[in-house]
């Protein structure tokens, strides 16, 4: 975390209180005390008395203090289980904690001085525990809150039994269309303690908080509950997002000015109305709806990536004859003025259907909008060309990547919000190439390292409250560590991953069958890709699993191990494990030799998927090229076959990332632009993010399908590290059918800029490198040295 980071903090509205439409820049993130990272905290975890600390519940905590003057600085450290949202004097300040696990329970360090004033000041914290309905990515011990002053001066707000607490009985879980993202909300306005976060709210009837154990960072306790760790990523972005269009209306007139926040809508008593809002693109946000009057009314909000007809999605832009189906919130107003409903957790939507039924009192809709949220990535990288259609590929790909990056990377924002390793490796590279911020990538590497079991494997997805293991994903973790080493000068961090790399490799090597010399039977879910020929089976973990993936003799998984061993051998050689690297070289050679000997089909000139030559796929031949299991002088012909023979099992969007790596390796990268048809097909279907799979697809937003954003810069512009730590770069462009390209890639020392156009058989233009960064320009057999600054290519 940066020591200090200025954030544009939008005061957008207080939960369940009148909207405040002001904006100010505040110094929000601060540095945690080094003392608190090494010693037990004086603050205690607190909870609500006389309730189950394990079950579903929403709680409000308050603490008021008197200050003689407005402080210049007032820093606290705060965390909760499951989640919290902090208010100071009625103003929302931050939410968290950043997702981790019980042994790495994150806390935020926040500067509160801008929100304080002379006299009475109130800290108010909403804490919720979704209990059995919590998201699949949410780890939990029990309901709790902790606030610790960063220095003795600030300890007057430490959590103890002087804090007040109440259980909010207005909340219950909405389980319609429930997914791994957790439950939605049902809120009864007549039971809600309106204004609870304001300074002058009367909390005399609230209970004193029940104290639990003291806060304990790693190394400070005899035994642990939550092991507190400072947040290692920035706070999430949050900004107002106006909704765009009304696509369908029943029973009410909705003027365009309503969505613009410039007018209200009155719905008469005893009436049913419905209207469909189209954001026009998918987003992740906290929707907020403000209402007045309407006692006893029901407001239902249905969120959808798209609409359905007969169970099918079809073109995402079409609404005629289609139905909204999806996650659903319910709000029942109490008749008060300017009541604001905001869900506890973010929602993913393009479409929101608003269904309202009034009772004996009219209801006034004052406003509706979203508060966009996500990891605060900035679009520092860019790509342009003479083909303007690629601009849409870039924009949609970057939106896809952004919606799948929050406190962890997400596989998809609508259904799961789980950080899967196979997805994360690709997402991290996109982050490096477009923003340059490596903190979320580093956190992901650490989280998967924390997830390793006694067997030595990482979890396939983490954090997560239900263990799942996909052995091939553990191999991608090693590749991801190697990626980080190539792009960042952070050798001590990479060194810390070496024990985990060894444990993963030893697990795989122990599974090599002595007779075949290939991987034998492998437990768990050996997912490779969602090829339609490898369908899901509810009774076995076989969805996406190729022949031999579980029973043994899989050429694909065996060669993925060989592919990963190449990266592992390089890391081990550099980080003091040369003898082990030599051992793994022998394992690598034997794997490649045995797969080639037993699975190569001389008649077809292809590798079969397994020992029994059950089937043939692009996948195994991609890995044959990437692992060099097939002799280098045969790899170009092999790529041509796997790319042209349509009877092979085809790679989906996910595995095409590796198809393009193989294409680049054999010198065919000029084909790249012509291979983007599947992405253009998605655009033609009205998708505003790239989907998990070809139609029919479950998820409309899956960051592994955003890989063109990476390849437009790494393959077309050709910008890659020439040596570890990004000490120098290489630029090897592949314009293919394009005439001109321009690209920017963030580097730790500045921006790399590439501007080229075709001139006969050469490229002309310029390449600009940051200061103190050198590189080389490669075009075929031509290699030219690049110096810092502007390099003219002619």
C-alpha 109/C-alpha 28 separation (Å) is 9
Backbone angles phi, psi at 487, to 5 degrees: -100, -15
Residue 28, pLDDT score: 79
pLDDT over threshold 70, residue 1? no
pLDDT over threshold 90, residue 283? yes
Q: What is the pLDDT of residues 505-543, one digit of tens each?
A: 999 999 999 999 999 999 999 999 999 999 988 887 789
Residue 9, pLDDT score: 31
C-alpha 691/C-alpha 412 separation (Å) is 9
To 10 degrees, the CA torsion angle through 342, 346, 347, 352?
30
Residue 538, pLDDT score: 81
C-alpha 723/C-alpha 339 separation (Å) is 58
Q: What is the pLDDT of residues 32-65, one digit of tens each?
A: 999 999 999 999 999 999 999 999 999 999 999 9
Among candidate residues 473, 380, 306, 250, the one with its CA nearest the CA of residue 747: 380
Q: What is the pLDDT of residues 748-774, one digit of tens each?
A: 999 999 999 999 888 999 999 999 999
Residue 429, pLDDT score: 98
Among candidate residues 152, 727, 99, 42, the one with its CA nearest the CA of residue 464: 99
Positive/negative CA dihedral, 357, 361, 366, 372: negative
Q: What is the pLDDT of residues 370-407, one digit of tens each?
A: 999 999 999 999 999 999 999 999 999 999 999 999 99
Residue 677, pLDDT score: 97
pLDDT over threshold 90, residue 794? no
Please count the residues of the chain: 794
Q: What is the pLDDT of residues 414-471, one digit of tens each?
A: 999 999 999 999 999 999 999 999 999 999 999 999 999 999 999 999 999 999 999 9
Among candidate residues 563, 462, 426, 447, the one with its CA nearest the CA of residue 500: 447
Residue 179, pLDDT score: 87
pLDDT over threshold 60, residue 17? no
- Check if the beta carbon of residue 431 is closer than 8 Å to that of residue 440: yes
Q: Tell me the C-alpha to C-alpha distance, in Å, between residue 294 and each of 181, 251, 276, 592.
A: 31, 16, 20, 71
- Check if the beta carbon of residue 153 is closer than 8 Å to that of residue 53: no
Tell me the domain boundaries of the chain.
5-169+191-234, 238-374, 740-793
Residue 466, pLDDT score: 95
pLDDT over threshold 50, residue 10? no
User: Among 283-287, 410-414, 533-537, where is mean pLDDT lowest?
Assistant: 533-537
Which DSSP string do the residues of 574-635 spell out, in sequence order? Answer: HTT-HHHHHHHHHHHHHHHHHHHHHHEETTTTEE-SBTT----BHHHHHHHHHHT-S-HHHH
pLDDT over threshold 80, residue 130? yes
With 0-12 / 13-18 / 19 or more C-beta atoms within 10 angstroms meaning exposed / middle / buried, residue 456 is middle
Higher model confidence: residue 690 or residue 23? 690
Among candidate residues 401, 347, 425, the one with its CA nearest the CA of residue 135: 347
pLDDT over threshold 70, residue 641? yes
- Check if the beta carbon of residue 349 is closer than 8 Å to that of residue 306: no
Percent of residues in the chain assigned helix, strand, coil, to nearest 5:
25, 30, 40
The residue whose two tokens read 């550099």 is: 574
C-alpha 207/C-alpha 165 separation (Å) is 5
End-to-end CA distance of the chain: 43
Among candidate residues 701, 689, 752, 727, the one with its CA nearest the CA of residue 436: 752
Residue 470, pLDDT score: 97
Backbone angles phi, psi at 779, to 5 degrees: -140, 105
C-alpha 711/C-alpha 286 separation (Å) is 32
Per DSSP bridges, beta strands 182-188 and 327-332 are parallel
pLDDT over threshold 60, residue 127? yes
Two structure tokens written together for 217: 């960072």
The CATH class given to the 238-374 domain equals mainly beta
Q: What is the pLDDT of residues 579-624, one digit of tens each?
A: 999 999 999 999 999 999 999 999 999 999 999 999 999 999 999 9
Residues 6+ apart with CB under 8 A from 532: none
Average pLDDT in the 266-274 region? 97
Q: What is the pLDDT of residues 329-358, one digit of tens each?
A: 999 999 999 999 999 999 999 999 999 999
CA within 13 Å, CB half, 113? 15
The residue whose two tokens read 């809600």 is: 192
Two structure tokens written together for 230: 């400072």
Average pLDDT in the 204-214 region? 97
Number of neighbours of residue 36 by Cβ within 10 angstroms: 23
5-169+191-234: CATH topology: Jelly Rolls (2.60.120)
pLDDT over threshold 60, residue 308? yes
Average pLDDT in the 721-744 region? 97
Residue 20, pLDDT score: 28
Beta bridge pairs of residue 58: 128
pLDDT over threshold 60, residue 7? no
The residue whose two tokens read 């962890």 is: 408
pLDDT over threshold 90, residue 131? yes
Residue 227, pLDDT score: 97
C-alpha 685/C-alpha 499 separation (Å) is 46
Which DSSP string do the residues of 517-563 spell out, in sequence order? Answer: SSB----S-------TTS--BTTBB-TT--TTTTTS-BHHHHHHHHH
Average pLDDT in the 265-272 region? 97
The residue whose two tokens read 């982050």 is: 431
How much of the chain, in percent, has pLDDT values that exceed 70? Answer: 97
Residue 27, pLDDT score: 57
User: 327 in helix, strand or coil?
Assistant: strand
Among candidate residues 16, 13, 346, 362, the one with its CA nearest the CA of residue 189: 16
C-alpha 102/C-alpha 785 separation (Å) is 50
C-alpha 792/C-alpha 756 separation (Å) is 10
pLDDT over threshold 50, residue 12? no
Does the pTM surpass 0.85? The reply is: yes
- Check if the beta carbon of residue 700 is closer than 8 Å to that of residue 306: yes
Average pLDDT score over the chain: 94
Average pLDDT in the 82-99 region? 97
Residue 637, pLDDT score: 97
How far does Cα 140 stand from its chain's mean position? 20
Two structure tokens written together for 378: 């900035």
């Amino acid at each position: 975390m940066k020591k200090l980071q200025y954030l544009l903090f939008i005061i957008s509205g207080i939960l369940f209180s009148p909207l405040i439409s002001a904006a100010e820049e505040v110094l929000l993130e601060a540095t945690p005390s080094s003392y608190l990272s090494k010693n037990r905290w004086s603050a205690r975890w607190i909870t609500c008395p006389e309730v189950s600390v394990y079950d579903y519940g929403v709680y409000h905590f308050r603490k008021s203090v008197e200050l003689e003057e407005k402080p210049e600085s007032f820093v606290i450290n705060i965390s909760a289980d499951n989640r919290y949202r902090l208010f100071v004097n009625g103003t929302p300040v931050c939410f968290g904690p950043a997702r981790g696990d019980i042994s790495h329970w994150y806390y935020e360090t926040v500067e509160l001085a801008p929100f304080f004033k002379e006299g009475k000041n109130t800290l108010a914290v909403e804490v919720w525990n979704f209990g059995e309905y919590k998201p699949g990515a949410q780890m939990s011990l029990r309901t709790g809150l902790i606030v610790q002053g960063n220095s003795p001066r600030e300890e007057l707000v430490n959590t103890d039994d002087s804090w007040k607490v109440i259980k909010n009985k207005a909340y219950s879980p909405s389980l319609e269309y429930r997914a791994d993202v957790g439950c939605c909300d049902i809120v009864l306005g007549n039971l809600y303690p309106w204004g609870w976060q304001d300074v002058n709210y009367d909390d005399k009837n609230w209970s004193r908080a029940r104290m639990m154990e003291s806060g304990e960072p790693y190394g400070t306790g005899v035994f642990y509950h939550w092991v507190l760790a400072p947040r290692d990523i920035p706070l999430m972005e949050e900004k107002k997002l106006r909704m765009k269009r009304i696509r369908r209306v029943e029973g009410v007139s909705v003027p365009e000015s309503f969505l613009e926040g410039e007018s209200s809508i009155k719905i008469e008593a005893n009436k049913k109305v419905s209207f469909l809002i189209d954001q026009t693109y998918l987003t992740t946000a906290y929707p907020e709806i403000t209402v007045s009057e309407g006692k006893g009314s029901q407001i239902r909000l249905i969120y959808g990536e798209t609409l359905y007809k007969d169970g099918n999605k079809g073109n995402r832009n079409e609404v005629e004859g289609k139905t909204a189906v999806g996650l659903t919130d319910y709000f029942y107003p109490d008749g008060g003025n300017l009541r604001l409903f905001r869900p506890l957790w973010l929602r993913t939507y393009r479409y929101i259907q608003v269904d309202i039924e009034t009772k004996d009192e009219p209801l006034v809709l004052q406003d509706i909008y979203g508060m966009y949220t996500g990891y605060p990535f900035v679009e520092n990288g860019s790509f342009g060309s003479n083909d303007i259609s690629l601009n849409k590929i870039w924009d949609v790909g970057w939106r896809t990547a952004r919606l799948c990056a929050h406190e962890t990377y997400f596989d998809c924002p609508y259904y799961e919000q789980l950080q899967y390793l196979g997805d994360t490796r690709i997402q991290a590279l996109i982050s490096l190439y477009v923003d340059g911020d490596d903190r979320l990538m580093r956190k992901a590497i650490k989280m998967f390292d924390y997830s390793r079991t006694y067997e030595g494997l990482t979890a396939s997805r983490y954090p997560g409250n239900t263990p799942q293991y996909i052995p091939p994903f553990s191999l991608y973790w090693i590749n991801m560590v190697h990626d980080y080493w190539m792009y960042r000068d952070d050798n001590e961090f990479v060194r810390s991953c070496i024990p985990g790399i060894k444990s993963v490799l030893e697990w795989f090597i122990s599974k090599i069958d002595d007779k075949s010399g290939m991987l034998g039977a492998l437990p768990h879910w050996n997912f490779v890709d969602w090829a339609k020929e490898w369908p899901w089976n509810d009774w076995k973990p076989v969805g996406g699993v190729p022949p031999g993936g579980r029973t043994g003799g899989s050429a694909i998984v065996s060669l993925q191990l060989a592919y990963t061993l190449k990266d592992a051998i390089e890391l081990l050689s550099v980080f003091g494990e040369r003898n082990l690297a030599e051992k793994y070289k022998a394992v690598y050679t034997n794997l490649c030799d045995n797969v080639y000997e037993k699975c190569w089909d001389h008649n077809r000139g292809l590798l079969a998927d397994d020992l029994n030559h059950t089937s043939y796929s692009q996948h195994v031949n991609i890995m044959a090229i990437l692992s060099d299991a097939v002799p280098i002088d045969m790899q170009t012909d092999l790529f041509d076959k796997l790319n042209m023979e349509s009877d092979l099992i085809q790679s989906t969007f996910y595995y095409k990332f590796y198809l393009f790596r193989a294409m680049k390796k054999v010198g065919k990268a000029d084909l790249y632009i012509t291979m983007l048809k599947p992405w253009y097909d998605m655009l033609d279907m009205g998708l505003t993010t790239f989907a998990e799979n070809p139609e029919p697809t479950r998820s409309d937003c899956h960051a592994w399908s955003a890989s063109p954003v990476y390849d437009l810069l790494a393959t077309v512009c050709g910008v890659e590290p020439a040596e570890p730590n990004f000490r120098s770069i290489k630029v090897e462009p592949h314009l293919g059918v394009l005439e001109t390209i321009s690209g920017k890639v963030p580097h730790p020392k500045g921006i790399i800029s590439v501007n080229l156009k075709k001139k006969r058989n050469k490229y002309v233009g310029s390449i600009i490198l940051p200061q103190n960064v050198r590189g080389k320009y490669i075009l075929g057999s031509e290699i030219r040295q690049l110096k810092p600054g502007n390099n003219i290519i002619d």
